[in-house]
Amino acid sequence: MNELKDKLARYLGFLAADPSNMSLLRDSADLALQINEVDQALGLITRGLDLDPTHPGINYLLATANIQNQKFEEAYTILHKLLGTGIDNPGIRYNLGLSALYIGRFAEVDATLTTLINETPDAVPHAKVLLARAKHHLGELDEAADLLHEFLTNVDDEHVEANGLLALLYQDRGDNERALAYAKKTLLKNANNHEALITLATVTLDNLDLESALQQFENILHMNDNSGRSWLGKGLVELYKNNSIGAEGSLKRCVELMPSHLGSWNALAWAQVVQNKLAEAEQTLLTALETDRNFGDTHGGLACVQLMLGRIEEAAMSQRRAERLDATSFAAQFAKALLLQHADKPDLSQQEMQELFNRPIVAGCSNLLENLQKLANGRSHRNFH
């Protein structure tokens, strides 16, 4: 680091004598970014852009500075423009993929980094880890795991980020044994790795150790209040503990952070249902349908809410739609059970409804909360952090 600082000081001395030297401006800005002097780099970049607003090297450094300042939309715009004008290299493609990931353009990350890896496989080895993240968001869990295994085998078996992400992928695939193995390996290297901690907390919840799971999720949130998966886990624990008010608050924060994750919207709706906040629950499910109209569990949940609101025909239609979309959907079967129960006993009380929530609906089927947990960790991993 000191060598870079000394080198930058020399370059700045040269610039004092030759202030319009674009090569010196570019190299000085690059060095400033390498030592994390972003404000100094931006001053040099601004000087370069004043001299030549279209200079590709200076614009690339501006995008890099924006990434370091977490201004991903601005970085994406600059890099996309550079690529569109025919200026192409692995660094541009990688940083374009990185920027696209952070603004939720996961399919574009897939296309950009797949091209990079296919055309120049050794240029940016870490691109496989970034591409695995995008595929995780897209729900392509097997492909994401394959990329991580390739990276760990061929590049760095001890890579913390790759091992942590692989732990989370295995947990999402329901393989808790492998998930724990990779999480523990990761935490030996970095005790604060987000994916590994999320994995441990989620496995703890799967084992219904509610107090420990709640403490783990809260510890993660203390480190990172923007952890959508931790708010989801906390909300599910609160549902298990019959704290529906707390669950609703946690899950509302969750859907702010993960607006495309369908399981979170469904969990929020049920937290509202158990409080008899049926109008709010209906609106929550309708919002989920705006994201994906072909998810059976959302239609099944909507059928239950419509039934509770006394709109029997609408409920029956929603239930049939849910079953057509997914015959194995728990919510579809739950709605069917409620409709049958209602036919036999139209004045079903709130207490009797709560009893239905807590027991298996059909033989061999787990209860509502257990299925909400599966749903929350299953379908639709888009924007699932």
**pLDDT band with cut points at 50, 70 and 90 for residue 375:** low
- CATH number of the domain at 219-385, out of 3.40.640.10, 1.25.40.10, 2.40.160.10, 3.40.50.720? 1.25.40.10
Q: What percent of the chain has pLDDT over 70?
A: 89
pTM: 0.85
Query: What is the per-residue pLDDT for 298?
Result: 95
Query: What is the per-residue pLDDT for 290?
Result: 95
Least confident of 38-42, 190-194, 326-330: 326-330
Q: What percent of the chain has pLDDT over 90?
A: 79
Query: What does pLDDT average to over the chain?
Result: 90
**SS3 per-residue string spanning the chain:** CHHHHHHHHHHHHHHHHCCCCHHHHHHHHHHHHHCCCHHHHHHHHHHHHHHCCCCHHHHHHHHHHHHHCCCHHHHHHHHHHHHHCCCCCHHHHHHHHHHHHHCCCHHHHHHHHHHHHHHCCCCCCCHHHHHHHHHHHCCCHHHHHHHHHHHHHHCCCCCHHHHHHHHHHHHHCCCHHHHHHHHHHHHHHCCCCHHHHHHHHHHHHHCCCHHHHHHHHHHHHHHCCCCHHHHHHHHHHHHHCCCHHHHHHHHHHHHHHCCCCHHHHHHHHHHHHCCCCHHHHHHHHHHHHHHCCCCHHHHHHHHHHHHHCCCHHHHHHHHHHHHHHCCCCHHHHHHHHHHHHHHHCCCCCHHHHHHHHCCCCCCCCCCHHHHHHHHHCCCCCCCCC
* 383, pLDDT greater than 50: no
pLDDT in tens, 31-82: 999 999 999 999 999 999 999 999 999 999 999 999 999 999 999 999 999 9
Query: What is the per-residue pLDDT for 363?
Result: 38
* 357, pLDDT greater than 70: no
Least confident of 118-132, 284-298, 320-334, 336-350: 336-350
Query: What is the per-residue pLDDT for 332?
Result: 86
